[in-house]
DNA sequence: ACGCTCATTGCACATCTTGCAACGGGAGGT
DNA sequence: ACCTCCCGTTGCAAGATGTGCAATGAGCGT
């Protein structure tokens, strides 16, 4: 809606991919160099971009700080954290917390590392592999039918592994099942040797506000053994839901 | 420099503190509501802000993703990571990696958790307590004399603990010492019971490009015992420096 | 030393942004 | 149930603001 701001913001994803020179930025925006310069200048003053020694630009530290602060101020996160730690202590596995946001993105907003030496690669703030991750399935299974359908059609279905969700139809079927049963899994769909088990966290309005999961590599526990932890994960999610909905707000 | 973009960007730190309504945003910017609305709209389209159910705005998931991507594309980070993991494996303590950016901010860009049950609170992306953290001392000790002085004067010196750096003079003296000896510590200056030991990572130009540290609470190891790990930390930093400067780039 | 590329600045034009005023809808009070 | 108040939203005209051009300067490789 605002041309200038729109252009300025289009610079950020470009720089996220790696450093770029003024000329590259101008070309990307399809504007004159002087225009790009002024936009970069403004972004720079706000610490959103950083000018490295070779005069190329990359994203600035301010961005990290903002993202950080924003995540910490999320309600769910603060409430859920102790429960996630407890779950990690009882199972030893990596625990994740994720939320969905209209922009078609699911992101991890908290993580407690596995106590086993094998660690999986994931990071807070990272967009989740939406077509395969257990937490993503739960979050999307909750969006209204029509939207969900349109959304599924629009997605890419990367074949991370042989078990990855192949297409929209398979995904919608999976979402229906997940919705039905109230929990979700990802058995080797993202990384061949890693299994996840997730449960939904409900807000006061009954809708799915977040989802938490435990993940473990095959070498530590097999898929069936992981599934035996289902009651534990579900109970954790329910405890968080209750607290989030304020059903036990008192002292 | 660009008024519109400037206004749009001023919205972000406001929202980072917590959700705000349209009216609040407009008041904060000192502009008409309709103006604020259009800016928010543009930010929204880019996923930078999110509109919650109560119609108030908060920062959006896109921001997390951008920050994430930007951090992962930092050279130092990729190079340093395996070394940090190795250091963690040998000592068991929490390992941090931090960089400095002109905007007067030092941020953690990587972290490997302690293997001991006691964990410290810190998070990737978080701005570092600049006046006390060991990594901050190393990074600032390297900026040119004049700038360093001006900078130190401008800072606040929060008394986190009794051992926190009290004022600019003390800080400058500490920086001089750190510069001299080539490593830094924070002995209970940030949190009473936590000690850190940091070493500098040099870029190809010889300047300090980053710093890494190990941290441990008193209950696990005392300050003097932590200091015995100095050679290990220094060697880790040197290894990263060598690789970063391309002094052993080959196959 | 020369010529190249790339960042930077001043300026006049017009485009895009701005604030106003009017509309609409939801919540809360009577 | 009605009315009223508050807040978000929209159309529009005025002009401030952002834009592209062309010229300057800095840095680098030949």
**CATH code where residue A38 lies:** 1.10.10.10
Mark whether B90 and B204 lie in a shared domain. yes
**Contact residues on chain A for B4, CB-CB shorter than 8 A:** 2, 4-5
Nearest Cα residue in chain A from B7: A5
C-beta atoms of A99 and B39 within 8 A = no
- Comparing alpha-carbon positions, the chain B residue that sits nearest to A60 is B101
Establish if B106 belongs to a structural domain: yes
pLDDT confidence tier of residue A60, bands split at 50, 70 and 90: confident
Domain assignment present for A53: yes
My answer on whether B32 and B88 are in the same domain is no
Q: Does residue A119 carry a pLDDT above 50?
A: no
Answer whether B9 sits within 8 Å of A42, measured CB to CB.
yes
Which is higher by pLDDT, A114 or A6? Answer: A6
Cβ atoms A71, B64 nearer than 8 A: yes
> How long is the CA B67 to C1' D2 vector, in angstroms?
52
Q: How far apart are CA A217 and CA A195, in angstroms?
A: 6
- pLDDT score of B136: 95
User: Residue B107 pLDDT > 70, yes or no?
Assistant: yes
**Do residues B144 and B87 both lie within one domain?**
yes
Chain B residue closest in CA terms to A112: B113
pLDDT at A200: 96
Examine the domain organization and report whether A128 and A228 are in the same domain: yes
Contacts of A86 in chain B (CB under 8 A): none
Query: Which residue in B has a C-alpha nearest to residue A205's C-alpha?
Result: B53
Residue B183 lies in a domain: yes
Report DSSP letters for A23-56, one per residue: HHHHHHHTS-HHHHHHHHHHHHHTTSEEE-TTS-
Q: Binning pLDDT at 50, 70 and 90, where does residue B116 land?
A: low
Residue B251: band (very low, low, confident or very high) from pLDDT cuts 50, 70, 90: very low
Residues A8-49 have pLDDT tens digits of 999 999 998 888 999 999 999 999 999 999 999 999 999 899
Query: pLDDT (tens digit, 9 = 90+) per residue, B157-182?
Result: 999 999 999 999 999 999 999 999 99
Residues A232, A116 within the same domain: yes
**Mean pLDDT, all residues of chain A:** 88
Query: Has residue A251 been placed in a domain?
Result: no
Q: What is the pLDDT of residue B174?
A: 96
**Do the beta carbons of residue B128 and residue B134 sit within 8 Å?**
no
Q: Are residues A55 and A99 in the same domain?
A: no
Probe site for chain A from B3, B12, B39, B68 (most A CB atoms < 10 A): B68
Size of interface A-B (CB pairs under 8 A): 173
Q: Is residue B205 part of a domain?
A: yes
CB A76 within 8 A of CB A244: yes
Considering A66, A101, A118, which residue would you say is the last residue of a domain?
A66
CB–CB of A172/A148 below 8 Å? yes
Same domain, A82 and A36: no
A68 neighbourhood in chain B, CB within 8 Å: 67, 123, 125-127
Residue where a domain stops, chosen among B42, B66, B90 = B66
Q: Is the CB of A29 under 7 A from strand C?
A: no
Is the domain of B27 the same as that of B127? Answer: no
Verify that B148 and B239 share a domain, yes or no. yes
In a domain, B201, yes or no: yes
Range of the domain at A16: 3-66
Distance in Å, residue B23 CA to nucleotide D8 C1': 9
Q: Give the count of domains, chain B.
A: 2
Within a domain: residue A249? no
CA–CA separation, A63 vs B105, rounded Å? Answer: 11
B43 and B80 part of one domain? no
Gap between the Cα atoms of A189 and A200, Å rounded: 19
Whether CB of B28 is under 7 Å from strand C: the answer is no
Q: Say if residue A129's pLDDT is above 70.
A: yes
Specify whether B55 is located in the same domain as B141: no
Strand C footprint nucleotides (protein C-beta < 7 Å): 6-10, 16-21
pLDDT band at A162 (very low <50, low <70, confident <90, very high): very high
Shared domain for B83 and B47, answered yes or no, is no
Q: What is the pLDDT of residue B207?
A: 85
pLDDT at B117 over 80: no
Please give the Cα distance from A35 to A80 (Å, whole number). 45
Domain C-terminal end among B66, B83, B100: B66
Q: Residue B27, class by beta-carbon neighbours within 10 Å (0-12 exposed, 13-18 middle, 19+ buried)?
A: middle
β-pairing, A184-187 vs B184-187, is unpaired
pLDDT at A251: 34
Any idea what the CATH number is for the domain that residue B152 is in?
3.30.450.40
Distance from A114 to chain B by nearest Cα, in Å?
10
Residue A121's pLDDT is: 52
With beta carbons less than 8 A apart as the criterion, state whether B237 and B200 touch. yes
Distance CA B232 to C1' D5 in A: 69
| Interatomic separation, CA of residue B247 and C1' of nucleotide C1, rounded (Å) | 35
Position A151 in a domain:
yes
Q: Which nucleotides of D are covered by protein (CB under 7 A)?
A: 7-11, 17-22
Task: Output the CA angle A52-A53-A59, nearest 5 degrees.
Answer: 0
């Amino acid at each position: 809606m605002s041309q200038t701001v729109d252009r300025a913001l289009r610079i950020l994803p470009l720089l996220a991919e790696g450093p770029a020179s003024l000329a590259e930025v101008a070309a990307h925006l399809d504007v004159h160099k002087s225009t790009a310069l002024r936009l970069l200048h403004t972004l720079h003053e706000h610490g959103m971009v950083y000018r490295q020694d070779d005069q190329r630009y990359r994203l600035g530290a301010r961005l990290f700080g903002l993202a950080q602060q924003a995540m910490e101020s999320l309600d769910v996160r603060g409430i859920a954290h102790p429960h996630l730690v407890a779950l990690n202590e009882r199972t030893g596995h990596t625990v994740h917390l994720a939320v969905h946001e209209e922009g078609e993105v699911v992101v991890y907003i908290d993580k407690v590392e596995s106590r086993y030496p094998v660690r999986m690669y994931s990071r807070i703030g990272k967009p989740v592999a939406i077509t395969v991750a257990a937490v993503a399935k739960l979050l999307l299974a909750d969006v209204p039918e029509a939207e969900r359908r349109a959304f599924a059609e629009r997605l890419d279905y990367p074949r991370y592994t042989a078990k990855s969700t192949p297409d929209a139809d398979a995904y919608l079927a999976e979402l229906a099942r997940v919705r039905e049963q109230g929990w979700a899994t990802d058995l080797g769909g993202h990384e061949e040797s890693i299994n996840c088990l997730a449960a939904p966290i409900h807000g006061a309005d009954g809708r799915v506000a977040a989802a938490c999961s435990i993940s473990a590599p095959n070498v530590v526990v097999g898929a069936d053994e992981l599934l035996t932890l289902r009651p534990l994960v579900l109970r954790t999610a329910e405890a968080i839901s209750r607290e989030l909905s304020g059903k036990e707000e008192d002292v």
